[in-house]
Amino acid sequence: MKETFLTDLMQTYLSLKKSGEIEKLEGGDKFWSKSGEELDKLGEDWLITEFSFDEDWKSWEMHPNGEEIVYLLSGAMDLILEKNENRETIELREKGLVVIPRQTWHTAKVLKPSKMLIITLGKETQIRQI
């Protein structure tokens, strides 16, 4: 039997495998210092992590291979979604969940320090600077 584990999602990614297993991955710089090929391989499974934001996002991102769940745990921010040159602003205050459709660019304006739980298929994620 696999052992249970306790983790801090601010420091760790959880990878939900198609087999039903959950793998704990080191987060932060150790995660993001991996090669693009390694990140794409990890992004084939659902990744769960928690982020803390004190300022607006510095870029837009888009996930071509799946929808993304963004759950605001605390704080206040506006999520800005862009698809086919149409923009939509979703206000998140204190708590709330948004499902961002695949192939939709998104960024955030942070109005109050915020914590978010994010669940995504990260393979081939695209980034563009603001």
The class level of CATH for 12-129 reads mainly beta
**What residue ranges in the chain does DSSP mark as E strands?**
12-16, 22-26, 46-53, 59-62, 68-83, 86-93, 96-100, 105-121, 126-129
70 token code pair: 């963004």
Q: What is the mean pLDDT of residues 19-36?
A: 89
**Whole-number average pLDDT of the chain:** 93
Q: Where are the domains of the chain?
A: 12-129
| 116 pLDDT more than 90 | yes
Q: What is the pLDDT of residue 1?
A: 58
The model's pLDDT over 50-104, given as tens digits with 9 standing for 90+, comes to 999 999 999 999 999 999 999 999 999 999 999 998 999 999 999 999 999 999 9
Residue 63 burial (C-beta neighbours within 10 Å; 0-12, 13-18, 19+): buried
Q: How confident is the model at residue 13 (pLDDT cuts 50, 70, 90)?
A: very high
pTM: predicted TM-score of the whole model, two decimal places = 0.88
